[in-house]
């Protein structure tokens, strides 16, 4: 019966001098003159093995050992195993192209991604994906507790409906389809179909040629849609509760992973204190920050809420409101898609959420009125005849509704303070990178 690294101390305390079995990867080998230490890595952590002879093994080989557990406060976890027998399950080649047991803080992103099958073995890099797993689990659990139903929708969509720009084309038998940018229309269908509250965790695709630290061409979209809302403010309330729960779960389950990145998550009080500012106010705040940072005489210079403004607004919020999370609502009509619900003549019931300087969410109340939608389409360069399936959602009764999406990798990035969002994708795709 195999024991995990994290349980050796308990085995040493509770054992009756009997042998235990442990298995994992050879993380490090130390020859201390007569005594040999092997640090073994398994899914639970590190374990120290004590051997009489130096094992003839390359690092990263997989072994199974049997031995006697013993307390040793100098060993990781406060215990070690005095090895009686060692079996090699898988021998690693000696030419390791990536140092798994090293400090990766100075390693370049390209080296990490080129050697993905090895870099993911590094405990600090692996911890990114333990946090990500908690984010997905907590996202789903919170929404289920609020009576949301999980859905899985098609990622192969008709290009005419989606507009065409920024889409990857798929050869689908004798037709051309596209990879969905978002499950937007399908989420709306499911609200109108009477589930009322739905969520989806699925890949989304953007064929944009950007190569920035905040963009991925394939990402995991955490999508939410909810019926019977009044405005985007209901969605902001929902997202506050959702993020507070995700942060709490990450804090409880990923203490070691946060520590590895010297990171912390906001507490519930800070999330509750997150300000909601209109787009116009946000622009003023950002320009105020420019003056704040560069002196009163410098003229304000930001004309829209661009990435630079997003950073400044989060700085303002952290300083003035005690929250690293900010919601910007009432985006101008020109910045939002045709299906966004208007608010007055030129504004919309839409919002972004910014966290630690980065937009992690876009959302809003949708237009559910069939006639208003049909009227809006041509103004946005779309043809009513191409949108019949979309319009059908609203033709036969659709409640007021709205939703949002959280970029899973962006949230992971910002929780841990990663420099580049690609670090938060197991196998990221960008314009050049298609492997592994």
Interface with a second copy in residues 405-434 (CB under 8 A) = 408, 425-429, 431, 434
| H/E run at residue 132 | helix 123-145
Phi (first) and psi of residue 25, to 5 degrees: -100, 140
Q: Looking only at residues 208 through 267 of this chain, which bind a second copy when binding is defined by CB under 8 A?
A: 209, 218, 220, 227-228
- Cβ proximity to a second copy: between 237 and 304 the closer is 237
CA atoms within 13 A on the CB side of 4: 6
The two three-digit tokens of residue 303, written as one number: 């004309």
10 binds a second copy (CB under 8 A): no
x/- site string to a second copy, residues 85 to 114, per CB under 8 A?
Answer: ----xxxxx--x------------------
Q: How many residues bind a second copy (CB under 8 A)?
A: 94
**Distance set, CA 173 to CA 144, 162, 168, 170, 205 (Å):** 37, 20, 16, 9, 20
Buried b (16+ CB within 10 A) or exposed e, 327-354: bbbbbebeebbbbbbbbeeebbbbbbbb
User: What is the maximal distance between C-alpha atoms in the chain?
Assistant: 84
- Cβ proximity to a second copy: between 303 and 396 the closer is 396
Q: Looking only at residues 325 through 354 of this chain, which bind a second copy when binding is defined by CB under 8 A?
A: none
- Cβ proximity to a second copy: between 227 and 402 the closer is 227
Interacting span for a second copy (CB under 8 A) from 58-66, 303-311, 326-334, 350-358: 58-66
Interacting span for a second copy (CB under 8 A) from 9-17, 55-63, 325-333, 375-383: 55-63
x/- site string to a second copy, residues 277 to 316, per CB under 8 A?
Answer: ----------------------------------------
Q: Looking only at residues 380 through 409 of this chain, which bind a second copy when binding is defined by CB under 8 A?
A: 389, 392-400, 408
List 196, 234, 281, 308, residue binding a second copy (CB under 8 A) = 196
CB 170 within 8 A of CB 178: yes
CB 154 within 8 A of CB 360: no
CB atoms within 10 A of CB 2: 11
Closest CA to 272 of 229, 246, 300, 237: 237
| Cα distance between residue 37 and residue 364, in whole Å | 58
Which residues have C-beta within 8 Å of that of residue 295, sequence separation ≥ 6?
none
Shortest distance (Å) from residue 251 CB to a second copy? 18
Q: Looking only at residues 145 through 174 of this chain, which bind a second copy when binding is defined by CB under 8 A?
A: 147, 149-156, 158, 168-173
Helix (H, G, I), strand (E, B) or coil at 23: strand
The two three-digit tokens of residue 269, written as one number: 């009080």
Q: Looking only at residues 170 through 189 of this chain, which bind a second copy when binding is defined by CB under 8 A?
A: 170-173, 175, 177, 179, 185-186, 189
Shortest distance (Å) from residue 193 CB to a second copy? 4
- Cβ proximity to a second copy: between 54 and 210 the closer is 210
- Cβ proximity to a second copy: between 33 and 194 the closer is 194
The two three-digit tokens of residue 201, written as one number: 């965790």
| Cα distance between residue 122 and residue 284, in whole Å | 44
Q: Looking only at residues 116 through 145 of this chain, which bind a second copy when binding is defined by CB under 8 A?
A: 116-118, 120-121, 123, 126, 129-130, 132-133, 136-137, 140, 144
């Amino acid at each position: 019966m195999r024991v995990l690294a994290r349980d050796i101390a308990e085995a040493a305390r509770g054992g009756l001098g009997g042998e235990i079995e442990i298995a994992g990867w050879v993380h490090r080998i130390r020859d201390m003159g007569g005594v040999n230490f092997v640090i073994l890595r398994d899914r639970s952590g590190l374990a120290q093995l004590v051997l009489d002879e130096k094992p003839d093994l390359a690092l990263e080989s997989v072994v199974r050992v049997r031995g006697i557990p013993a307390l040793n406060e100098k060993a990781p976890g406060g215990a070690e195993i005095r090895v009686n027998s060692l079996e090699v399950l898988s021998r690693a080649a000696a030419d390791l192209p990536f140092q798994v047991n090293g400090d990766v803080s100075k390693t370049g992103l390209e080296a990490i991604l080129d050697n993905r099958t090895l870099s993911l073995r590094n405990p600090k890099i692996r911890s990114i994906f333990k946090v990500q797993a908690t984010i997905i689990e907590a996202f789903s659990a919170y929404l289920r507790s609020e009576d949301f139903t999980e859905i899985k929708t098609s990622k192969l969509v008709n290009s005419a409906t989606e507009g065409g720009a920024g889409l990857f084309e798929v050869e689908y038998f004798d037709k051309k389809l596209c990879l969905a940018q978002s499950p937007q229309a399908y989420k709306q269908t499911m609200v109108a179909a009477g589930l009322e509250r739905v969520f989806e965790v699925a890949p989304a695709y953007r064929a944009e040629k950007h190569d920035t630290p905040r963009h991925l061409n394939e990402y995991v979209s955490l999508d939410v849609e909810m019926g019977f809302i009044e405005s985007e403010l209901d969605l902001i309330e929902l997202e506050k509760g959702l993020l507070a729960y995700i942060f709490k779960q990450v804090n409880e389950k990923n203490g070691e992973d946060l520590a590895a990145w010297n990171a912390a998550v906001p507490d519930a009080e800070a999330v509750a204190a997150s300000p909601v500012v209109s787009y116009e106010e946000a622009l003023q705040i950002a320009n105020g920050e420019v003056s704040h940072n560069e002196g009163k005489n410098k003229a304000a210079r930001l004309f829209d809420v661009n990435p630079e403004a997003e950073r400044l607004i989060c700085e303002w919020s952290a300083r003035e409101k005690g929250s690293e999370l900010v919601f910007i609502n009432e985006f101008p009509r020109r910045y939002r898609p045709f299906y966004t619900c208007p608010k007055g003549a030129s504004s919309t019931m839409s919002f972004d959420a910014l966290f630690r300087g980065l937009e992690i969410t876009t959302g809003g109340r949708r237009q559910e009125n069939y006639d208003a939608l049909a009227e809006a389409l041509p103004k946005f360069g779309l043809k009513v005849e191409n949108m019949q399936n979309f319009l059908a959602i609203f033709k036969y009764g659709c409640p007021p509704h709205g939703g949002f999406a959280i970029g899973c990798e962006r949230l992971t990035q910002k929780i841990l303070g990663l420099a580049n969002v690609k670090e938060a994708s197991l196998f990221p795709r960008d314009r050049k990178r298609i492997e592994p």
